[in-house]
Structure 1
Amino acid sequence: MKTMPGWIYCGLLVVGVSGCSLAPKYNVPPAAESPAFKETLSPAEAGTWQTAVPAEDAARGEWWKVFKDSQLDDLENQALAANQNLAAAAARVQEARAIEGVTGAARFPNLSAGFGPSRQQNSPDSLGVPAGGPRPEAQTVWRAQANISYEVDLFGRVASSVHAAHADTQQSEALFRSVQLALQADVAQNYFNLRELDAELAVYHRAVELRTEALTFVQHRADAGEVSDLELAQAKAELASATSDAMTVERQRAASEHALAVLLGKAPSEFSVAPRPLDPVVIHIPPGMPSSLLERRPDIAAAERAMAAENARIGIARAAYFPSIVLTGTGGYESSAFSDLFKWSSRSFLLGPLVGTAATLPIFDGGVRKGNLANAKARYEENVAKYRQQVLVAFQEVEDNLANLRILENQTRVQGDEVAASSRAAELSKVQYEDGSVAYLNVIDTERVVLQARLTAVRLRGIQATSTVNLIRALGGGWGEDPANASPATD
């Protein structure tokens, strides 16, 4: 049995000890802890809440179906299929994966092959010919060779680079999910805003109808000489005011419809939504909803992956202080005549590590390595701060929307009482005016109160709908659902 050459043993030994990373051991740094949300329904539920930690792989599902609106379902699907911001985010994921592939290629040998002639002239001194001796003739050398090179990752530069690139890819994927969630929420909010404007238009159209009837009544009385021209002018002014306000809402609705079209990846001229007033959206928060749903937030996952990438880059900066070794080898055929090139006697090789090895040890660089290491550590600390801030913002957004929904539930009920009372007052005022008991100014004032009360009630419905969407978005795209039992999400 033939024995293995000693240089191969050396190479295997060097490769065997390679890959020791100099990056600090990575652990997710502690962030703000919250054993319970402030806006929980009762103190007894506080123990059912959990602290939030990143979990970017949690399934989210089609959360908008909780609203049970088939048109909204269709719009969400259209947006996911055609939105250009989402397409750009998907392309960024592909870019990150490609870069990770390029970085990972450094873990393997680099192979290449070449073929062709070269013309060379050696100097007499390089061949040991004494001065005045015959000058060697120029010669043509044909070569057909394969080349191999491999960087021995003794101090983990390549491994740290691969870890950083992989974390960058995961960050890009989390950011894609963040764009996706933002798109889904924006579509739902724009849709509910459109429906709210439809409801406002319905209120204004009803006001226009009532004021048209009032103007007709006042006109008859004016023709009969029972009222002054002042009351007639006031009735006309109220009708014109309501009509103008309705036109303002129509402008807002057109702009909202155009914005929704862009979210769907369509030109505004190709998209329209039939008017339909907003129905009340009342989705109660399930008792004991755990704050572990914050794990669904892709922006927290992205911030955590950014920390991991910067931690790996500290290892790259540290590895620059140590030698780098690149093993090279060349083998093939070499001949002065093309006809003899592929003869067995024309074979040649050049192997490392004793020959063809480049081992470099940095000695002095004016502080470049020191600066790069300090920069890597500072970037890591920056991303730690960003991660902790993102967790704080997540808790704030959940608290805000929990408070909004809790207060809105009572406020809409109170506002409903105001609408009922003001409507009754307007009816009484109208009857008294027709009987001649009060001036027309009283009718105008009560009708204005009714109009404002109804508009406020409609707008509260819109705020309630958008706050519900905001809460779901703050929880990372789902709630009232066990992540462990959810179906896998697909990007």
Structure 2
Amino acid sequence: MMRTKPCLIAACVFALLGGCAVGPDYVRPQAPLPAAFKESRDWKPAQPADDAPTGRWWARFGDAELNALVEQVDLSNQNVLAAAAQFRQAEGVLGAARAAWFPTLGSNFTASRAQGVSSTTTSGSTVSPGTPIKNTDRLTLTSSWEADVWGRISRNVEANRASVAASAADLQAAKLSAQATLVQNYLQLRVNDAQRRLLEETAQGYRRSLEITRNRFEVGVAGRIDVAQAELQLRTTEAQAVDLKVARAQYEHAIAVLVGKAPADFSIAPTGALPRLPALPELLPARLLERRPDVAGAERRAAAANAQIGVAQAAFFPALTLSASGGYQGTSLSELTTLPNRFWSLGPALALTLFDAGARSAVKEQALAAYDKTVATYRQSVLTAFQEVEDNLAALRVLAEEDGVQREAAGFAAEALRLTQNQYQAGTVSYLNVVTNQTAALSADRSVVDVSGRRLVAAAALFKALGGDWDGLPARE
């Protein structure tokens, strides 16, 4: 028993070195961040914080039906549920990695029945072949523990912890993506409804014009060509209204899938009113972009890849394992657990690969390359985040200007149509002039609805680019 003391002392010494984890400590990669957004001068770059509240940003559109649909995303969207399952899977992998810090304990029971065989010794004597049959029962408890001398286990846990954080970010990204996609589809559906309502109201006006033109034709004031042109204008407008049904059905089907329902079991009643356009604040807090889950997920994957470099580097050093076993062995099961049948063993083991034809070096190079890839991905995600915010800020600014100009154009088109109709009734112009101005007025009105819809969709895209609502997060000095 005294012989085991040097082994135990050596094992303790190696165990104390467990804090000497090999491999580089993680430092967040630097990303090219501008001092301010081009489209919002008061913006300041900040650090990722995707656990910050994102708010019910969709409620800013003031549509109760939209609010109810978005609330179903977390519960029913299959992509979100898949991301949630992936997050739980990552937590399980982390739990398995943490278990390597602790010893394993096993048990075994065997029973055998055997008889000896005859043999000849070196002196020429022979063992009797009549050796009796022997029963052997063995009950064993075993335990082993790998000392984390070079930090292989610690680095593996570090990598898996970062992977769990990345999966959590992926879950939030899946939710945000599904919410934004649903909101944008819903807004486009409502724009479709508004366009169709405009066309139907315009068609009603064209029907009245057609009736007046027919009456004028019957009394000989107008020609047959005027009636034909009025008929053409009416049917063309009706066809445009019917054509919008295709896009509306597709938007409705897309929304059904986003809330986890079959399109056949889902419908949205049409309405001609557009949701409210959220007011964009003049000052956007710096902490908004911190919540983007895709940026946070990319950064945490870089942390996981960095830790894997340490895991690969630890393979170049010997692994220290402490093993212990004990139990009972005897020929009688009833007396198996008696003291004379007891046995035990205890001792450390060092294992080191001496030659592997460069396999460990290749694994390390692979880990280094994987880290470089995640760093590049992280930096690209940061640049993409800034681009998306810039794009939608610019879109909202330009579309607001276009909306004002387009509404003025629609007003002038309506005035030109009114004057032309009066001239036609006075007999000073042909009906072709009326048709031309009717087409221009309808096109101008549809453009107004289209620009309004584009502003709504751009606002939803900006919410997604910012990671949520802009309320509740004061700007960081």
CA–CA separation in structure 2 for the residues paired with 1:60 and 1:120:
72
User: 1:435 & 1:337 partners in 2: Cα distance?
Assistant: 125
* Cα distance, 1:139–1:72 mapped onto 2, change above 3 Å: same
User: Partners of 1:484 and 1:427 in 2: how far apart?
Assistant: 52
Match in the other structure for 2:298? 303
1:243 aligns with 2:238: yes
Q: Partner residue of 2:208?
A: 213
Contact 1:117 1:142 survives alignment (8 Å): yes
Distance 1:223 1:315 in 2: 93
In the alignment, is residue 323 of structure 1 matched against residue 318 of structure 2? yes
Cα deviation, residue 265, structure 1:
0.8
Q: How far 1:317 moved relative to its partner?
A: 0.8
**Is the CA contact (8 Å cut-off) linking 1:33 and 1:52 kept in structure 2?**
no
CA contact (8 A) 1:280 1:461 kept: no
Report the counterpart of residue 105 of structure 2 in structure 1: 111
Aligned partner of 1:383 in structure 2 is: 374
Structure 2 counterpart of 1:108, one-letter code? F
Matches within 5 A, 1:352-391: 352-353=347-348, 357=349, 359-391=350-382
Shift of 1:80: 2.0
Letter in 2 for 1:55: A
The equivalent of 2:78 in structure 1 is: 84
In 1: Cα distance, 2:91 partner to 2:117 partner: 51
**1:76-225 alignment to 2 at 5 Å?**
76-119=70-113, 132-134=125-127, 139-225=134-220
Instruction: Look up the match of 1:72.
Output: 66
Shift of 1:217: 1.3
Mapped to 2, the partners of 1:463 and 1:130 lie a distance apart of: 103
Task: Quote how far apart the aligned CAs of 1:133 are.
Answer: 4.8
Residues 392 and 415 (structure 1 numbering): CA distance in 2 closer, same or farther, change over 3 Å? same
Alignment partner of 1:17: what SS? helix
Q: Flag the 1:218–1:25 CA change in 2: closer, same or farther, 3 A.
A: same
Which stretch shows the higher mean deviation, 280-289 or 194-203?
280-289
Deviations 1:29-48 (A, max 9, x none): 110111111012xxxxx4x4
SS in structure 2 opposite 1:480? coil
Does the 8 A contact of 1:59 with 1:483 survive in 2?
no
The answer to whether 1:427 aligns with 2:418 is yes
Distance 1:329 1:129 in 2: 37
Q: Which residue does 2:471 correspond to in 1?
A: 480
**Deviation string, structure 1 residues 96-123 (Cα, Å, up to 9, x no partner):** 1111111221111111111221356789
TM-score normalised according to structure 1 size: 0.91
Name 2:336's counterpart in structure 1: 341
CA distance 1:373–1:120, change in 2 (3 Å): farther
Between the two proteins, the alignment pairs up a number of residues equal to: 471
CA distance in 1, matches of 2:340, 2:70: 72
CA, structure 1 residues 123+104, in 2 after alignment: closer, same or farther (shift >3 Å)?
Answer: farther
Return the offset for 1:422.
0.5
Match of 1:451 among 442, 454, 460: 442
Deviations 1:345-387 (A, max 9, x none): 211112112xxx3x22111111111111111001100110110
Q: Structure 2 matches for 1:251-330, cutoff 5 A?
A: 251-279=246-274, 281-330=276-325
Q: In 2, Cα distance between the equivalents of 1:328 and 1:162? A: 23
Structure 2 Cα separation of the partners of residues 32 and 335 of structure 1: 72
In structure 1, distance between residues paired with 2:293 and 2:116: 65
User: Is the CA contact 1:278–1:462 (under 8 Å) kept in the aligned structure 2?
Assistant: no
CA distance in 2, matches of 1:463, 1:207: 22
Cross-structure match for 1:59: 53
Report the CA distance shift for 1:199/1:135 in structure 2 as closer, same or farther (over 3 A). Answer: farther
Structure-2 separation of matches of 1:405 and 1:49: 17
Residues of 2 paired with 1:152 and 1:124: CA distance?
A: 47
In structure 2, what residue type is equivalent to 1:59?
P
Give the 3 Å change call, closer, same or farther, for CA 132–14 of structure 1 in structure 2.
Answer: farther
1:400-423 Cα offsets, whole Å, 9 max, x none, are: 111111111111111111111101
Rounded to whole Å, the distance in 1 between the matches of 2:19 and 2:306 is 16
SS state at 1:352 partner: strand
Kindly tell me: are residues 373 and 86 of structure 1, through their superposed partners in 2, closer, same or farther at Cα, counting changes over 3 Å? same
Fraction of identical pairs, as percent: 37
Question: Tell me, which stretches of 5 or more residues in structure 1 are unaligned?
Answer: 41-45, 486-491
Distance in 2, matches of 1:123 and 1:151, equals: 41
How far 1:224 sits from its partner (Å)? 2.2
In 1: Cα distance, 2:304 partner to 2:139 partner: 42
For 1:238 and 1:58, the matched residues in 2 are separated by 55
Offset at 1:461?
0.9
